[in-house]
Amino acid sequence: MKIRFKNARILTMKDGEDIFFGELHVTDNKISYIGEEKPEFADANWDRVIDVEKNVLMPGFKNAHTHSAMTFLRTYAEDLPLKEWLYEKVFPMEAKLQPQDMYPLSILGIMEYLTSGITANFDMYMAPKYVAEAAKDTGFRTVLCGSANDFGGSKESLKNEYETFNNYHELVSYQLGFHAEYTTAKELMLDVADLARELKTPVYLHNSETKEEVAGCVERYGTTPTAFLDSIGMFEYGGGGFHCVHMTEEDLNICKERGLYVVSNPGSNCKLASGIAPISKMLEMGIPVALGTDGPASNNCLDMFKEMFLVSGLQKIACEDATALDSMEVLKMATVNGAKAMGLTECDVLAEGKLADLIMIDLNQPNMQPIHHIPKNIVFSGSKINVAMTMINGKILYENGKFFIGKEPEEIYEQVNAVVSRIMGTSEAI
């Protein structure tokens, strides 16, 4: 398959490279050319030629922390703090799920990702086989994250998942992880650290999301979650934490020294009143920061435009500085940094030889006019309405409001609502 995108504004997200006018070619699943337009290209044998009409081509957003199948809990548990939300609402409902439920629930999440220009996610949830199948069948790129905790999982099961899903399909990969310090016994955390050393691989987890979580760890182990995990050798090969809202100076120094990624989830942290992470300080220290939506039960939108606006706006408030967190840095968090955190270094920027995971941003909408500074437009006024196309692995999965994932939306909606009706014992809401 050979596709030519012409007449495009191209934002590669390479360091120091500005937007330029040109064209981009995709051959099979990779970018085969990116640069100025040339007359000879018009006579080549193309399967499709797309006139971008001076809109923007850029790398797809990387949603670096998700629980996709939690779509079944969207708007179910609202206006609650994290602990009550999790233990009284989420965990009891999750216990009623069947493994195969994860398939349609995940596809619903994937559909929403596509509308938001998200080309890959870092997904932590149960029954990873069905999550992987949902990604494979729809053509979506997903990185699975281990989720062992006191409710299930072991060193052996994590190792099996690591070996299975890193050899499963070109669109599926796996990173070692566990849920969180507060949901995981010390013995299991020691096993995870041993496995990370054995496999020479990074480890990811929910970390320091709330003050209560940090205080509980200090009571149990005499120190913060970050410091405790580092003391048992969890981060010898790197990794990172999701949320990282309540971090001490020692915690941040550990992140810097270990090269840990922080994945900020400003929408979820706002909704659950968890707090504002010190993103500006992290970036000043050289700690790489990525962005994630978290799950659709705690956000509730799987929308990277909202996350970009919030992460910037909240830092300006927290720092009392309107210059905090430049828009290009925010775009880097949503694309390049997310790709690197997830191990997706072949689709971090637009360049020849890179995987063709890219999106088209429609500038011909009221919210994008006039055009003073395109990156700032995307961060501060962009929305899902501006996503004209989402391509993953060289295939267009979403274009002009239509999905090309081998599934009809109505079919997925029906299956998801059947799951919800079964586990909650209710009929469709009026």
Residue 329: inside a domain: yes
Segment-wise mean pLDDT, segments of 10 residues, the chain, 430 residues: 97 96 98 95 94 98 97 90 87 93 98 98 97 98 97 97 98 98 98 98 98 98 98 98 98 98 97 96 98 94 97 96 94 98 98 98 97 95 97 98 97 96 70
90 shares its domain with 52: no
Question: Domain for residue 173, yes or no?
Answer: yes
Same domain, 25 and 167: no
Residue partners of 249: CB distance under 8 A and separation at least 6 = none
How far does CA 259 lie from the centroid of its chain? Answer: 19
In the chain, the number of structural domains is: 2
Between CA 137 and CA 144, with CA 143 as vertex, the angle to 5 degrees is 95
If asked whether residues 298 and 390 sit together in one domain, one would say no
Q: Is residue 424 part of a domain?
A: no
- pLDDT score for 146: 98
pLDDT of residue 430: 41
* In a shared domain, residues 303 and 396: no
Q: Is residue 141 part of a domain?
A: yes
CA distance 11 to 9: 7
pLDDT given for residue 80 in this prediction: 85
209 with 222, same domain: the answer is yes
- 90 within 8 A of 183, measured Cβ to Cβ: no
Q: What is the DSSP letter of 267?
A: H
- 193, 235 Cβ separation under 8 angstroms: no
Residue 85 belongs to some domain of the structure: yes
pLDDT at 426: 63
- State residue 339's pLDDT score: 98
210 and 297 assigned to the same domain: yes
Tell me, yes or no, whether 83 and 190 share the same domain: yes
Structure tokens given for 355: 């995987």
Helix (H), strand (E) counts: the chain = 16, 17
CATH code: domain of residue 85: 3.20.20.140
Is 192 in the same domain as 337? yes
Q: What is the CATH number of the domain that holds 355?
A: 2.30.40.10
Picking from 245, 303, 302, 300, the residue whose alpha carbon sits closest to that of residue 271 is: 300
Residue 334, domain member (yes or no): yes
**What pLDDT score does 329 carry?**
96
Q: Is the dihedral of CA 164, 233, 348, 294 positive or negative?
A: positive
Query: Is there a single domain that holds both residue 317 and residue 385?
Result: no
Task: Give the span between the Cα atoms of 430 and 423, in whole angstroms.
Answer: 18
The Cα–Cα gap between 61 and 332 comes to: 9
Domain assignment of residue 419, yes or no: no
Question: Domain check: are 95 and 51 in the same one?
Answer: no
Q: Which of 307, 341, 375 is the last residue of a domain?
A: 341
Domain that holds residue 14: 2-59+347-403
| Residues with Cβ within 8 Å of residue 130, at least 6 apart in sequence | 99, 100, 101, 102, 103, 106
Same domain, 181 and 88: yes
Assess if residue 294 is contained within a domain.
Answer: yes
Co-location of 171 and 272 in the same domain: yes
Residue 206: strand pairing partners: 180, 242
